[in-house]
Amino acid sequence: MADKTYENVVIEREGEVTFLYLNRPEKRNAMSPGLHYDMQDALLNLEYDAQTKVLVLGGKGEAWCAGQDIKTYFREQGNDPVARRKTNNTSHNWRHELLTHFSKPTIAMVQGYCFGGAFTQLSSCDFAIAADEAIFGLSEVNWGILPGGIVSWNLTDMLLPRHAMYYAATGEPFTGKRAVEIGLVNESVPRAELKAKTMELAGKLLKLNPSVVRYTKEAIRAVRHMGHEEARDYLAVKQDAMHKADKEIGEKVGMKECLDAKSYRPGLGPYKRPT
Ligand code: ACO
């Protein structure tokens, strides 16, 4: 069945990898209210889409995302608290709730500008690969607001405190290469190689047991904010839940293939998944 079409976002597919692009290139993919509603709808649909095994979040044109739309999100809704609240909730819902809880691995593929509010969806993706040439910036300070929504939280969650403070308080832009150095993205490559590098990572993820990847990413996110005793308890219960959900019975297959068939070395790569 053909994918649903939207005014502000577009879906493209390469096999089991689904690309979801912000698509307002003439406005540098600034997030208007319409874009927020489109993204929420698209993510809800893709969450339950069986063909989507890895989700890539991209941006069409020169920008990945130039942050919230200063005109339509801030100014035009400034005197309409109900509309503002609705858009704000939708904006938070897709950028944080839907993305961080997305049941399939998510990769931010950042080819160009990434500013302000865009740091939330960047941080919510499980992985991020950037073009060396991409430009990141906490530009809020440049025009008179602080990194709101949950951007300040995203920054201190992702970066060492010195980096979070420096880039938030100065608004100084930085490149994809610098984003790797400060831990904001996994890797940066020349822009011409960005899609191939993203597909390479997607290919690695597709070779793995999807239930185990899902429970692992949920665990990594959850324990970050726990004490070790709580984490130990949580991980024991999570492990049990994963065994129940895992249709491939990965642990049994993995153990048998490793100990009996000696068909692979777990230290060097995954067992071959049954077709
Ligand atoms: N909100 C509203 N409109 C925007 C935004 C934005 N965040 N970013 C770009 N646009 C619009 C411009 O107003 C312009 O519209 P127009 O053609 O109708 O005049 C169009 O997109 C193209 O923008 P230019 O500035 O001409 O493009 P350029 O490539 O020269 O610069 C850049 C791109 C660097 C991204 C620049 O547009 C910019 O600084 N944008 C603001 C980025 C920002 O501060 N984002 C944070 C917003 S606050 C927040 O997210 C909480």
Confidence of residue 251 (pLDDT cuts 50, 70, 90): confident
Distance CA 138, CA 119 (A): 8
Contact call for residues 78 and 84 (beta carbons, < 8 A): yes
SS3 of the chain: CCCCCCCCEEEEEECCEEEEEECCHHHCCCECHHHHHHHHHHHHHHHCCCCCCEEEEEECCCEEECCECHHHHHHCCCCCHHHHHHHHHHHHHHHHHHHHCCCCCEEEEECCEEECCHHHHHHHCCEEEEECCCEEECCHHHHCCCCCCCHHHHHHHHCCHHHHHHHHHHCCCEEHHHHHHCCCCCEEECHHHHHHHHHHHHHHHHCCCHHHHHHHHHHHHHHCCCCHHHHHHHHHHHHHHHHHHCCCCHHHHHHHHHHCCCCCCCCCCCCCCCC
pLDDT of residue 206: 96
Residue 27 has pLDDT above 80, yes or no: yes
Shortest-distance atom of ligand 1 to CA 69? 1
Residue 250 has pLDDT above 80, yes or no: no
Confidence of residue 113 (pLDDT cuts 50, 70, 90): very high
pLDDT of residue 265: 87
Cα(138) to centroid(ligand 1), Å: 13
Shortest-distance atom of ligand 1 to CA 113? 35
pLDDT of residue 3: 92
Residue 263 has pLDDT above 80, yes or no: yes
> Probe ligand 1: pick from 8, 28, 32, 71, max atoms within 8 Å of CB?
28
Q: Span 213-242, mean pLDDT?
A: 96
pLDDT in tens, 163-220: 999 999 999 999 999 999 999 999 999 999 999 999 999 999 999 999 999 999 999 9
Cβ of residue 67 lying under 6 Å from some atom of ligand 1: yes
Distance CA 17, CA 205 (A): 10
Cβ of residue 258 lying under 6 Å from some atom of ligand 1: no
Shortest-distance atom of ligand 1 to CA 116? 50
Residue 230 has pLDDT above 90, yes or no: yes
Largest pairwise CA distance in the chain: 69
Tell me the pLDDT of the chain averaged across its residues.
95
Q: Span 12-39, mean pLDDT?
A: 98
Q: Which of 23-27, 75-79, 109-113 has the lowest mean pLDDT?
A: 75-79
Q: Span 151-169, mean pLDDT?
A: 97
Letter string b/e over residues 223-243, b meaning 16 or more CB atoms within 10 A of that residue's CB: beeeeeeebeeebeebeeebe
pLDDT of residue 174: 98
Length of the chain: 275
Q: Which of 10-19, 49-58, 242-251 has the lowest mean pLDDT?
A: 242-251
pLDDT of residue 256: 86
Cβ of residue 68 lying under 6 Å from some atom of ligand 1: yes
Q: Which of 115-124, 178-187, 263-272 has the lowest mean pLDDT?
A: 263-272
Q: How far apart are the first and last CA of the chain?
A: 24
Tell the residue nearest (CA) to atom 42 of ligand 1: 66
pLDDT of residue 246: 81
pLDDT of residue 257: 85
pLDDT of residue 98: 98
Shortest-distance atom of ligand 1 to CA 27? 21
Report percent pLDDT > 70 for the chain.
99
Residue 248 has pLDDT above 90, yes or no: no
pLDDT of residue 1: 76
Residue 145 has, within 13 A of its CA and on its CB side, a CA count of 14
Cα(169) to centroid(ligand 1), Å: 20
